[in-house]
């Protein structure tokens, strides 16, 4: 029998009523055997996610020496969930033990991970499934990277003797035996890890939307749904702000050629979006698959005559950024120019000044210019590399909207074109691009 791994996001775990709906989804298909859950999300606008309550709980622990004050909202939330589920489950004992361990560990990652841990315990009880603690099967190396070989073996062995199992997402164990979390949204990665370990036929990611849309519905009304994506397109769109799925979650499943399907917990009958390896992906003939972007970037523009002839010029510039622990998003360049595109949140005024001084010291440029408040917008599609005139259509649409382009960067794969515009032109630019390729 084929095996499906299902990951359910925080909104899918928000309260007992929704968890009962999740139970029905899981039990409706016997191939759904391994379930990964997030911590409970918001129940309503203005509510607080359990993970955010736990980060606040850790601050309380540092302030008070014990977490009691900060843990009370978490305790109340899980008691409420179990009461709504109307199951015979001793959540009080598990909550007491969890509070005790938070006080003992005094570790932020451990505290933050307890939302997933507690939620998985509840869901396992509701399903009559085996609970497998990710602390015992997901391992990180000393450098913070996933220890894939050790992890896949441990997950596979833990799952081998059970027809139905539930694992908490978001965390594992570091090289020192302590709980370590992924970045926020990391339960998507956890689900992909389990799918890879058990060689699933499909990784279902259940959330509160029916898959990817061609652009942000907060900017364009009712954008076109995307039925199919390639791994590469997913990576580009997720990285540039299409936040349906964590952009790193494709890596565990990509090598094993396991497809991903995005599904809506609240509309399980919707087809969703299927994400496929290149070997199985057939473009539908569309030139552009989607448009996504982010605001608030800073561009450091560097100009120097004969830059191209100076050995190690780029390495010296990047060395300055490395010393300041700054990552670079893009590096568009010309024969005598290069631009460093950096997320503005990495650059305090003091750090930016150090970077400028470092570049001046290392490479003595003719000019350094700083351009702030830049938005990056990516137009993505595997059909772009075989369609004549895509760039012309894109730039004409932007020009017709009276938007000045500050930067252009096109990947060598010809699968994306990234433009930089002023933050204030961000929404207008996305609307113009969407209208050109998808219609108003």
Band of residue 412 on the pLDDT scale cut at 50, 70, 90: low
Cα distance between residue 247 and residue 37, in whole Å: 18
Range of the domain at 166: 4-280
pLDDT at 357 over 90: yes
Please, is 145 exposed, middle or buried when counting C-beta atoms within 10 Å of its C-beta (0-12, 13-18, 19+)? exposed
pLDDT at 384: 79
pLDDT in tens, 64-89: 999 999 999 999 999 999 999 999 99
pLDDT at 330 over 80: yes
Does residue 38 form part of some domain?
yes
Cα distance between residue 45 and residue 240, in whole Å: 25
pLDDT in tens, 217-267: 999 999 999 999 888 888 888 777 777 777 788 889 988 999 999 999 999
Band of residue 440 on the pLDDT scale cut at 50, 70, 90: low
| The two three-digit tokens of residue 436, written as one number | 């050109």
The mean of the pLDDT values for the chain is 92
The CATH number of residue 387's host domain is 3.30.2130.10
pLDDT at 111 over 80: yes
Q: Do 392 and 296 share a domain, yes or no? A: yes
| The two three-digit tokens of residue 139, written as one number | 């391992």
DSSP 114: H
Query: Which domain-ending residue is among 280, 312, 336?
Result: 280
Mean pLDDT of 7-27: 96
Does residue 138 form part of some domain?
yes
Query: Which domain-ending residue is among 221, 250, 280?
Result: 280
Does residue 29 form part of some domain?
yes
Q: Do 372 and 407 share a domain, yes or no? A: yes
Q: Do 234 and 319 share a domain, yes or no? A: no
Q: Do 369 and 394 share a domain, yes or no? A: yes
Does residue 285 form part of some domain?
no
Q: Do 314 and 168 share a domain, yes or no? A: no
Domain count, the chain: 2
| The two three-digit tokens of residue 85, written as one number | 């589920």
Helix (H, G, I), strand (E, B) or coil at 274: strand
Does residue 111 form part of some domain?
yes
Cα distance between residue 281 and residue 109, in whole Å: 38
Place of tokens 């349906």: 244
The CATH number of residue 101's host domain is 3.40.1160.10
Q: Do 230 and 258 share a domain, yes or no? A: yes
pLDDT at 395 over 80: yes
SS3 content of the chain, % helix, strand, coil (to 5): 45, 20, 35
Q: Do 112 and 260 share a domain, yes or no? A: yes
Does residue 36 form part of some domain?
yes
Mean pLDDT of 12-40: 97
Q: Do 34 and 55 share a domain, yes or no? A: yes
pLDDT in tens, 129-157: 999 999 999 999 999 999 999 999 999 99
pLDDT at 236: 80
pLDDT at 382: 81
Does residue 9 form part of some domain?
yes
pLDDT at 207 over 70: yes
Compare 139 and 409 and report the one with higher pLDDT: 139
Q: Do 301 and 336 share a domain, yes or no? A: yes
Does residue 106 form part of some domain?
yes
Mean pLDDT of 96-105: 97
pLDDT at 287: 83
| The two three-digit tokens of residue 148, written as one number | 């894939």
Q: Do 114 and 247 share a domain, yes or no? A: yes
DSSP 341: E
Query: Which domain-ending residue is among 280, 308, 336?
Result: 280
Q: Do 128 and 56 share a domain, yes or no? A: yes
pLDDT at 66: 96
Q: Do 295 and 189 share a domain, yes or no? A: no
């Amino acid at each position: 029998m084929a095996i499906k791994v299902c990951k359910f996001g925080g909104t899918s775990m928000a309260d007992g009523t929704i968890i009962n709906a999740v139970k029905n989804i899981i039990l409706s298909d016997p191939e759904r055997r391994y379930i990964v859950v997030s911590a409970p999300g918001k129940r309503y606008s203005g509510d607080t996610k359990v993970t955010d309550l736990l980060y606040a709980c850790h601050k309380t622990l540092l302030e008070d020496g014990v977490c009691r004050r900060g843990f009370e909202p978490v305790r109340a939330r899980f008691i409420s969930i179990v009461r709504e589920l109307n199951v015979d489950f001793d959540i009080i004992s598990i909550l007491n033990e969890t509070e005790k361990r938070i006080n003992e560990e005094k570790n932020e990652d451990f505290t933050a991970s307890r939302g997933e841990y507690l939620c998985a315990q509840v869901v396992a009880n509701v399903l009559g499934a085996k609970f497998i603690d990710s602390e015992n099967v997901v391992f990180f190396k000393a450098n913070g990277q996933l220890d894939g070989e050790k992890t896949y073996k441990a997950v596979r062995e833990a799952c081998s003797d059970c027809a139905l199992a539930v694992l908490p997402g978001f965390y594992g164990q570091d090289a020192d035996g302590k709980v370590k979390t992924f970045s926020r949204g990391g339960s998507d990665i956890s689900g992909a890890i389990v799918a890879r370990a058990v060689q699933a036929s499909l990784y279902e990611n259940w959330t509160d939307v029916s898959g990817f849309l061609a652009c942000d519905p907060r900017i364009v009304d009712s954008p076109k749904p995307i039925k199919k994506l390639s791994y590469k397109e997913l990576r580009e769109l997720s990285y540039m702000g299409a936040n349906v799925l964590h952009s790193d979650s494709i890596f565990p499943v990509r090598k094993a050629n396991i497809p991903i399907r995005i599904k809506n917990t609240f509309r399980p009958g919707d087809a969703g979006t299927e994400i496929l390896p290149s070997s199985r992906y057939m473009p539908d003939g569309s030139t552009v698959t989607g448009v996504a972007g982010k605001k608030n970037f800073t561009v450091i523009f560097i100009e120097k005559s004969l830059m191209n002839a100076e050995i190690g010029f780029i390495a010296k510039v990047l060395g300055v950024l490395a010393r300041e622990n700054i990552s670079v998003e893009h590096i568009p360049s010309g024969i005598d120019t290069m631009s460093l595109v950096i997320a503005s949140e990495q650059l305090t005024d003091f750090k930016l000044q150090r970077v400028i001084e470092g570049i001046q010291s290392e490479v003595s440029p003719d000019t350094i210019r700083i351009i702030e408040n830049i938005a990056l917008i990516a137009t993505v599609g595997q059909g772009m590399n075989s369609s004549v005139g895509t760039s012309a259509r894109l730039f004409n649409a932007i020009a017709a909207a009276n938007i000045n382009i500050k930067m252009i960067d096109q990947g060598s794969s010809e699968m994306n074109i990234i433009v930089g515009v002023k933050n204030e032109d961000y929404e207008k630019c996305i609307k113009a691009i969407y209208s050109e390729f998808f219609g108003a």
